[in-house]
Amino acid sequence: MLYSEKVMDHFQNPRNVGKMEDADGVGEVGNAKCGDIMKMYIKVEDNIITDVKFNTFGCGSAIATSSMATEMIKGKSIDEALELSNKAVVEALDGLPTNKIHCSVLAEEAVKAAIEDYRSRQAAKGQ
């Protein structure tokens, strides 16, 4: 299967790439089998994800799904972002080859890991 135009666009022109030094939450997930590693950073104000960045070491599908996932959670509440599913990411990209679906799962897991980190930091601050 060829990649959709959206996958190619997000691979060649990924959105929200980079590190965030003052992130409120950081999630890192990886799949040793395929060697993809995703790191996602979120900035949260009043329970809304105001900014999000990612660094992904991996294939084009991993980069495209990370990029799309960041676009989908930016401006959303924490609870809305937690509802992001890998299926929604795949649909937003107009599909992925079956052997690349695991990349979208990683993107979903990276979002959830960043939110989990944010929540544990908030709990540590007593908020």
Q: Which residues are catalytic?
A: 34, 103
Give the C-alpha distances (Å, rounded to integers) separating 102 from 52, 55, 69, 99: 21, 17, 14, 7
Q: What would the DSSP string read from start to end of 6-21? A: HHHHHHHS-SSBS--T
